[in-house]
């Protein structure tokens, strides 16, 4: 089978290249000229470990990139919709790109000779979107009937930025949401081919359940993060308390699990903030006010402010102080700064009159697009620390874990470190003023 992947962003490109690496013939479609040119030239338009190597190994072999959606659809058996579904100003989900792509696909399969093409929504969409907007648009423009002349499905992705390739290659679960057996059989066969060696567990369900699974999955993980951040904030006010010890203990309870219990400045990225907001709005639209999820949002929205409160309590007036910020991306191993708590914290530091120097292994070019000349950008950690009065660690990059007390003492005016991720061993920091989120004193 030949696959078309429409939209080569953070979801579409990793999936397309993993499928191509497994031996599937994949045609990737990217409408954005800059992204298209970058991929055509053998480069990845964002940072993701292993992905550029996968592109080099598959390009012009099992992977082909085009900006012609009609060509891709006409020559494919299964078409994956991985287009962006951003937020509108009122926090509702914007489905414009999805509808446009569905209309283009409909036109292509109308005049094409594809025998029962299968269209798969992989973008995160509100429940009932696939069976209403996508289905209706496809039928309108193709003049064909779903389930009779083409298949329709929803297959959510569960990959994490920074480990996308590994997560797609080794999924904890494959969810196939369909409403007819023929479509289900085609997709089952495809994923058996992609995962012929690992054979991950597969859940066969309806389209609406598949849509819900994605939202509920992200909502639960976001709630788990806000929960442990709440506990960390409590621990800050209790002498001797240690949020890591508490997380270790409760994480060993099989009813809880250890993942996503790492307290920090809050969750960010393209998924959790947007998906939770979309899910809250959707729930309200069907007559239910999800108070728990709104509380999760509130904790996350106020966590950067809480970080500033802790800094000012420990360091006093920030006006005129030189502050080094280590870590800009919302998590390590990505250059993605969308909804990163670091951005919110930097804004607040500037508003308080601080002078800010920044370092990040990958995200500085994206940071410059926001702050321009308001910050000092350093590609070297020592230069970022030089002549500063406070260092704030906001992202858990491996480079920061190896820092020692001497690195701060020899470079900073005043060796004071606030480690929001607790990635430095406190025993290495006994000769500096070190404090961390979730450590009481």
Residue among 7, 18, 92 nearest 45 (CA): 7
Task: Tell me the torsion sign for CA atoms 418, 419, 424, 425.
Answer: positive
Q: Quick one: residue 333, left, alpha or beta (phi over 0 = left, psi -120 to 50 = alpha)? A: left
Q: Extract the tokens encoding 250.
A: 């409760």
3-state secondary structure of 412: coil
CA distances from 382 to 10, 73, 219, 222, 404 (A): 32, 51, 39, 34, 12
Instruction: Tell me if residue 378 is catalytic.
Output: no
φ, ψ for residue 352, nearest 5 deg: -85, 5
Catalytic residue (one of 271, 378, 384, 391): 271
Alpha carbon 197 to chain centroid, angstroms: 27
Token look-up 């659809």 returns 73
3-state secondary structure of 323: strand
Gap between the Cα atoms of 222 and 271, Å rounded: 10
Catalytically active residues are 271
């Amino acid at each position: 089978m030949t696959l078309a992947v429409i939209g080569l962003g953070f979801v579409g490109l990793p999936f397309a290249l993993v499928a191509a690496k497994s031996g599937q013939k994949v045609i990737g479609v990217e409408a954005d000229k800059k992204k298209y040119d970058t991929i055509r030239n053998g480069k990845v338009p964002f940072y993701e470990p292993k992905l550029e190597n996968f592109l080099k190994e598959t390009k012009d072999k099992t992977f082909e990139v085009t900006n012609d959606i009609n060509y891709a659809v006409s020559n494919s058996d299964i078409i994956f919709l991985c287009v962006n579904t951003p937020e509108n100003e009122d926090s509702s989900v914007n489905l414009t790109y999805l509808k446009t792509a569905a209309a283009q696909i409909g036109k292509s399969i109308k005049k094409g000779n594809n025998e029962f093409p299968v269209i798969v929504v992989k973008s995160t969409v509100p429940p009932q979107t696939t069976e209403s907007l996508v289905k209706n648009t496809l039928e309108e423009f193709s003049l064909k009937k779903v389930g009779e002349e083409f298949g329709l499905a929803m297959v959510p992705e569960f990959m994490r930025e920074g480990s996308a390739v590994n997560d797609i290659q080794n999924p904890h679960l494959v969810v196939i949401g369909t409403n007819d057996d023929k479509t289900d059989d085609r997709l089952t066969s495809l994923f058996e081919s992609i995962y012929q060696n690992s054979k991950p567990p597969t859940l066969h369900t309806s389209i609406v359940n598949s849509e819900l699974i994605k939202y509920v999955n992200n909502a639960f993980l976001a709630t788990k993060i806000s929960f442990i951040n709440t506990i960390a904030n409590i621990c800050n006010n209790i002498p001797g308390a240690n949020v890591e010890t508490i997380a270790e203990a409760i994480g060993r309870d099989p009813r809880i699990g250890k993942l996503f219990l790492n307290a920090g400045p809050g969750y960010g990225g393209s998924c959790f903030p947007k998906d939770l907001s979309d899910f809250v709005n959707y729930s309200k639209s069907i007559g239910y006010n999800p108070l728990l999820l709104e509380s999760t949002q509130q904790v996350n929205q106020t966590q950067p402010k809480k970080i500033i409160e802790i800094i000012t309590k420990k360091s006093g007036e920030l006006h005129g102080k030189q502050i080094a910020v280590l870590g800009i991306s919302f998590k390590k191993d990505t250059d993605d700064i969308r909804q990163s708590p670091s951005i919110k914290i930097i804004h607040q530091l500037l508003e308080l009159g601080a002078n800010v120097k920044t370092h990040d292994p990958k995200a500085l070019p994206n940071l410059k697009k926001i702050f321009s000349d308001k910050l000092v950008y350093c590609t070297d950690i020592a230069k970022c620390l030089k002549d500063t009065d406070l260092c704030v660690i906001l992202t858990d990059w491996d480079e920061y874990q190896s820092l020692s007390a001497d690195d701060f003492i020899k470079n900073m005016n005043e060796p004071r470190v606030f480690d929001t991720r607790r990635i430095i061993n406190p025993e290495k920091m006994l000769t500096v003023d070190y404090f961390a989120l979730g450590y009481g004193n």
